[in-house]
């Protein structure tokens, strides 16, 4: 992987852009800075090397804090997955769950203004992938769409889906959801923008992938609602 993928952008770039960013989000204190999270399976785990959002029009970049919890022993424990999802979990499918998924904040104060592109650099089975997603007008409209807050503590207040959750598959594909308000909004599936095989092929483990299981997604249907972005925002 090139060094430019791993080096975080200087802090002054992030902070100096804050004052000149144009507001394209609701004037509501319940609207929080956007974040980029990841969901992975137990048997086919991935590690995020770096993730950030870019707004070329306003000339700023905002980087997420490190994703160390993705590879922590506590997180990558099958029993922990089962306790946080369902007892019969076999370790293959993607699990959408705030306890298991890791969604760090932006470095610094955090932008509420939305990026134009999302960049996620990640690794699975020795191969590095770059996933780049355009934040389309449809995605922006879905993020800024208000929902009734699901908590009784904030009754009468709005809630927003400001988390981008990438489900990372072992062949380099990435699924994308918006998360918030006890709702997952499925955006789509993306092919890797760039694939960087390991210099040492021996690092690749030739493990058969049961796609009928790996390509499945689990979420708590009693707590969360699942919807498609086309049903939420029609452009």
Task: State pLDDT tens for residues 138-163.
Answer: 999 999 999 999 987 878 899 999 99
Mean pLDDT of 192-198: 96
Distance separating alpha carbons of residues 154 and 172, to the nearest angstrom = 39
Q: What pTM was estimated for this model as a whole?
A: 0.89
Q: What is the mean pLDDT of the chain?
A: 88
Mean pLDDT of 173-178: 98
Tell whether the model's pLDDT for residue 195 goes beyond 80: yes
Q: What is the CA radius of gyration of the chain?
A: 18
pLDDT value at residue 15: 41
Tell whether the model's pLDDT for residue 20 goes beyond 80: no
Q: Among the listed ranges 44-58, 71-85, 188-202, which one has the minimum average pLDDT value?
A: 71-85
**130-138 CB contacts, 8 Å cutoff, 24+ apart:** 130/5, 130/192, 130/193, 130/194, 130/195, 130/196, 131/166, 131/174, 131/190, 131/192, 131/193, 132/193, 133/176, 133/190, 135/53, 137/235, 138/229, 138/233, 138/235
Cβ atoms 41, 217 nearer than 8 A: no
Task: State pLDDT tens for residues 57-105.
Answer: 999 999 999 987 776 666 678 998 899 899 999 999 999 998 888 899 9
Instruction: Provide, rounded to the nearest whole percent, the portion of the chain with pLDDT above 90.
Output: 71
Tell whether the model's pLDDT for residue 114 goes beyond 50: yes
Q: Among the listed ranges 30-34, 150-154, 222-226, which one has the minimum average pLDDT value?
A: 150-154
Tell whether the model's pLDDT for residue 116 goes beyond 60: yes
With residues binned 3-state (H G I as helix, E B as strand, rest as coil), the percentages for the chain, rounded to 5, are 20, 30, 50
pLDDT band at 183 (very low <50, low <70, confident <90, very high): very high
Mean pLDDT of 230-234: 92
pLDDT value at residue 186: 98
Tell whether the model's pLDDT for residue 3 goes beyond 80: no
């Amino acid at each position: 992987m090139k060094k430019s993928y791993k080096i975080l952008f200087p802090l002054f770039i992030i902070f100096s852009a804050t004052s000149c960013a144009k507001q394209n989000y609701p004037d509501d204190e319940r609207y929080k800075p956007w974040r980029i999270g990841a969901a992975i399976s137990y048997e086919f785990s991935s590690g995020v090397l770096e993730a950030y959002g870019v707004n070329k029009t306003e000339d700023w970049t905002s980087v997420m804090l490190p994703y160390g919890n993705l590879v922590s022993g506590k997180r990558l424990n099958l029993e922990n997955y089962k306790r946080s999802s369902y007892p019969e979990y076999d370790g293959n499918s993607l699990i959408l769950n705030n306890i298991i998924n890791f969604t760090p904040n932006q470095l610094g104060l955090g932008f509420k203004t939305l990026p134009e592109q999302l960049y996620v650099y990640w690794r699975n089975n020795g191969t590095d992938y770059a996933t780049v997603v355009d934040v389309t007008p449809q995605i922006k409209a879905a993020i800024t769409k208000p929902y009734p807050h699901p908590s009784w503590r904030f009754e009468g207040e709005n809630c927003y889906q400001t988390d981008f959750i990438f489900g990372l598959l072992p062949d380099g594909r990435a699924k994308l959801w918006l998360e918030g308000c006890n709702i997952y909004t499925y955006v789509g599936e993306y092919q890797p923008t760039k694939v960087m095989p390991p210099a040492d092929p021996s690092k690749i483990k030739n493990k058969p992938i049961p796609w009928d299981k790996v390509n499945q997604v689990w979420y708590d249907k009693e707590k969360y609602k699942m919807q498609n972005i086309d049903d939420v925002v029609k452009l």
